[in-house]
Structure 1
Amino acid sequence: MTNTNEPILSYLTDMDGVLVHENHLIPGADKFLAELRTNDIPFLVLTNNSIYTARDLQARLRHTGLDIPVESIWTSALATATFLNDQRPGGTAYVVGESGLTTALHEIGYVLTDSDPDYVVLGETRTYSFEAITTAIRLITAGARFIATNPDATGPSREGILPATGSVAALITRATGREPYYVGKPNPLMMRSALRRIGAHSQSTVMIGDRMDTDVISGLEAGLRTILVTSGISGRTTAENFPFRPTLTIDSVADLVGHTRAPFDL
């Protein structure tokens, strides 16, 4: 059992459903982040979205009223690049994805190619093409290793849900018989890479999220205490359907203002 009496020295927090919702600030999120910065508490904002670079996300968040440093944003694309750099430095990859993913791979020195790559890396994109997916299938069949930034099956839009990385990965798996290795949440690997990013330790870090099936379980499996906010996907009732529980459930991050050092005394 995680000791809730350990001091809180750092935070990992999901973005959508915790800080923003459909490009609108969740009330109190700005005050929560301001308190962390005022008290010099390290934090990292996590997202499974691999479309945007950290700088892109910084600009989008600024429009909602959140001023977050680029170095405090951690995407599944960055986590994927870190993983590949650890596994096979200076490798090659065929990428199906947007600038968030291609930029992250370029920055670690990867060469992007469709000629006998080490990896096929699948990320989220709004313009999946039949040609690109066909190329990915052929390369994987020929021996390229299959990596995906995250397993999310759908994503939100103003018109309704959209197929996301996990859905396209399932299509490729059906055609190749090869399952991808997913780097993003709920893989605790993303939590551990985030902890290393800010020099934090799992025993003194809290993970805040709005989804039991990604945020809470990945935090739990990485040894972090977890806070579920009901301002996004999972509610108090639906959370009871899971065989694991968050350390604390609150309405929103606004409840943490004034309690960032000792949230479990709420």
Structure 2
Amino acid sequence: MTERIPVDCWLTDMDGVLVHEERALPGAADFIATLIDTGTRFQVLTNNSIYTPRDLRARLLSGGIDVPEDNIWTSALATATFLHAQREGGTAYVIGEAGLTTALHDVGYVLTDRDPDYVVLGETRTYSFEAITRAIRLVVGGARFIATNPDPTGPSADGPLPATGSVAALITRATGITPYYVGKPNPLMMRSALNRIDAHSEHTVMIGDRMDTDIVSGLEAGLRTVLVLTGSTSAAEVERFPYRPTAVHDSIESVVPLVREFYPEG
């Protein structure tokens, strides 16, 4: 029997794992509280680029889940970190909201529609045809095309809404240029989260509710993975994928005891 490698860091998706339509899922508050009580490093990940970590903290807190701002990692932050590493002090034409524009400003980017280095597409509640047209013309003119995440739709009370991936497809169709997606399922999202807290993939577990984003990106980043069945993927669907999570749990509630079980005593 091989020796079990200790876990000293956890990454977890937000929607479908901790919350569903802003309502806390069973065990979510206890899970986060246990991580904090044990001093375990962790990051809450989301492909949503609309909100800043401060916004998301407030939304989670309204559901009784207390996550510090520094423990929230969004596709907007990952995108800004990536662009800063690629081209420090660059320029970008941005379609997105405060989560994305704030992240880019914080790494020293200038937002402009005049010959930008990048066109950066994120999620927004109201996509402007004028802004999309401008993005198309800039990409055709040579701007590099980046998108925060490939999710084609997002949830709403009235049903699905077109999201970043759908608008990116429109721009791609018009330009012939495919964007580089930074968010899940790109394992870069996981790697940047690990780097932020100086953690190692070998000692980290990723928790998610989607096989095609959370689990595959965790797997490709070298993490152990846990699928919870409170979101997008059902137990029956797991077998359809050519890869498997390390473990499957009904909800985050049954993962809580594992934090103390795996956490190495000092």
Say what the alpha-carbon RMSD is for the aligned residues.
Answer: 1.2
- For structure 1, list consecutive stretches of 5 or more residues without a partner in the other structure: none
Q: Distance in 2 between matches of 1:162 and 1:210?
A: 19
Q: Secondary structure at the match of 2:257?
A: coil
Q: Distance in 1 between matches of 2:257 and 2:59?
A: 27
Q: Distance in 1 between matches of 2:211 and 2:219?
A: 10
- Residue 113 of structure 2 aligns with an amino acid whose one-letter code is D
What do residues 149-170 of structure 1 show as CA deviations (whole Å, max 9, x unaligned)? 0000000000000000000000
- Contact 1:20–1:26 (CA under 8 A) maintained in structure 2: yes
User: How far apart are residue 35 of structure 1 and its match?
Assistant: 0.8
Hey, which bits of structure 1, 4+ residues long, moved more than 3 A? none
Instruction: Map 1:1-266 onto structure 2 (within 5 A).
Output: 5-262=4-261
- Contact 1:8–1:262 (CA under 8 A) maintained in structure 2: no
- Residue 154 of structure 2 aligns with an amino acid whose one-letter code is G
- For structure 2, list consecutive stretches of 5 or more residues without a partner in the other structure: none
Q: Secondary structure at the match of 1:185?
A: coil
User: How far apart are residue 51 of structure 1 and its match?
Assistant: 0.2
User: How far apart are residue 69 of structure 1 and its match?
Assistant: 0.3
Q: Distance in 1 between matches of 2:187 and 2:242?
A: 18
Q: Distance in 1 between matches of 2:134 and 2:53?
A: 28
- Contact 1:140–1:146 (CA under 8 A) maintained in structure 2: yes
User: How far apart are residue 182 of structure 1 and its match?
Assistant: 0.1
Q: Distance in 1 between matches of 2:3 and 2:60?
A: 31
Q: Secondary structure at the match of 2:12?
A: strand
Q: Secondary structure at the match of 1:258?
A: helix
Q: Secondary structure at the match of 1:213?
A: helix
| TM-score, L = length of structure 1 | 0.97
- Residue 114 of structure 1 aligns with an amino acid whose one-letter code is D
User: How far apart are residue 256 of structure 1 and its match?
Assistant: 1.6
What do residues 89-110 of structure 1 show as CA deviations (whole Å, max 9, x unaligned)? 0000000000100000000000
Q: Secondary structure at the match of 2:100?
A: helix
- Contact 2:38–2:260 (CA under 8 A) maintained in structure 1: no
User: How far apart are residue 259 of structure 1 and its match?
Assistant: 1.9
Q: How many residues matched?
A: 262
Structure 1 residues 29, 4: CA separation in 2 closer, same or farther (over 3 Å shift)? farther
User: How far apart are residue 258 of structure 1 and its match?
Assistant: 2.1
Q: Secondary structure at the match of 1:18?
A: coil
User: How far apart are residue 4 of structure 1 and its match?
Assistant: 7.8
- Residue 58 of structure 1 aligns with an amino acid whose one-letter code is R
